[in-house]
Amino acid sequence: MLYLCLITGALYQGSATQAENYRIIKNLHITHVVNATANSPDAFPNILCYLRLPLSDDAQQDLVEALPLASRFIHQALKGVPAGRVLVHCSMGRSRSSALTLAFLMEHRHWSLLHALRWLKERRACTAPNINFLQQLLTYEELLFGSRLTSLDDIRR
């Protein structure tokens, strides 16, 4: 089983199984959840605030709307009064959730994709956005910073 990972002081990344475990949610004081699965229901809709992004982990999935939506949702939750605690999850906690977390780090910490990816992999070794998501994150990086700071070759090294 992949472990739930604390990304920042109040941002976690994990799997659908972990997002459905009330004990985990309660112990971590999670208040907000980004559910990036096509088929896992929001487990605690009466208790938690959800952003539902029914994404597929494949070469056809377009993230153009999902990246800024997730980034805004996470930012608003973390900066709320009182501050929230966010869990970003997909089925396994590797590809879709990583792409969304990376978009947040790029936008709100002003990090290049390469820096964000390396930083995230240090905290969650199983981080593995699919190649389609990486290409879209490269485009998102260009949108955020006005130029591409990372190349696909940089990422593959």
| Catalytic residue ranges | 90
Residues β-bridged to residue 13: 5, 88
Q: What is the β-pairing status of strands 5-8 and 11-15?
A: antiparallel
Coil, strand or helix at 41: coil
State how far the Cα of 133 lies from the Cα of 63, in Å rounded to an integer: 7
Q: Which of 21, 19, 15, 22 is nearest to 1 (CA)?
A: 15
Q: What is the DSSP letter of 44?
A: -
Alpha helices of the chain — where are they, by DSSP H? 16-19, 22-27, 66-78, 96-109, 113-123, 131-145, 152-156
The radius of gyration of the chain's CA atoms, rounded to the nearest angstrom, is: 14
